[in-house]
Amino acid sequence: MIQTLPGHGRADLIWVDCGPGSFTGTRVGLAAARALALAWDIPVFGFSSMPLIAVTAVGETDSAAVALLGGHGELFVQAFVMGPLAPSTDLKSLPPEAAAHAVRSTLVLGSGAEAMVQAAGGGLARNVVPRAANVRMLPDELRRLPPKAIYVRPPDAKAA
């Protein structure tokens, strides 16, 4: 797919989603981005999908939460203030009921928004997916992370 892009996908820098997300998908994306950056001798920066989703609400509210479906029936959750965009809570992986108590917001964005709003007993859920084009709207400190996976939970695999 990269080969079919204009200029064979060549860029001046690469931004890559570091998660949270599926273990394999995140790792594959990071490996590809880091390999291309090495081959093209360009910088690679990471970002989290959480503020990438939150940035869609800038200008319409003072704060919002992002909830993404995670593994084991849990939600990845984080709250943000909008002006300027910044996280107001740590990123957590929690069951919907615990998420609704830990991260309170009237507006919840993301694939887990409906589950969180239901657990909270009210609010506005908006199923927003991350759009890579919005990375330019993020403040530098949120789009210049080290290109490595963001882990929220301990690994499922256990040493024998």
The answer to whether 92 and 76 have CB atoms below 8 angstroms apart is yes
Residues ≥6 apart with Cβ < 8 Å to 106: 61, 123, 124
pLDDT score at 153: 79
Looking at residue 97, what is its pLDDT?
Answer: 97
Q: Rounded to whole angstroms, how far apart are CA atoms 106 and 12?
A: 39
**Secondary-structure class of domain 50-126 per CATH:** alpha beta
- In this structure, what DSSP letter does residue 145 have? B
Which residues are CB-neighbours of 25 under 8 A, at least 6 positions away?
none
Write down the H helix ranges in 41-159: 49-54, 96-102, 113-120, 140-143
Residue pLDDT, tens place only, 28-86: 999 999 999 999 999 999 999 999 999 999 999 999 999 999 988 999 999 999 989 99
Domain positions in the chain are: 2-48+132-143, 50-126
13 alpha-carbon distance from chain centroid: 20
Given CATH 3.90.550.10, say whether it is the number of domain 2-48+132-143: no
Q: Report pTM.
A: 0.91
Identify the residue with better confidence: 154 or 96: 96
Least confident of 15-19, 23-27, 137-141: 23-27
Q: Using a CB cutoff of 8 Å and minimum separation of 24, what contacts does 114-118 make?
A: 115/67, 115/69, 115/75, 116/65, 116/67, 116/75, 116/77
Cα distances (angstroms) measured from residue 66 to each of 28, 115, 128: 24, 12, 9
Residues 106-132: pLDDT tens digits?
999 999 999 999 999 999 999 999 999
Q: Regarding predicted confidence, which is higher, 9 or 120?
A: 120
| Per-residue confidence (pLDDT) for residue 147, from 0 to 100 | 97
Distances (CA, A) of 36 to 29, 33, 47, 48, 52: 11, 5, 17, 20, 22
- The pLDDT value recorded for residue 3 is 77
The answer, yes or no, to whether the previous bond of 84 is cis (omega within 30 of 0) is yes
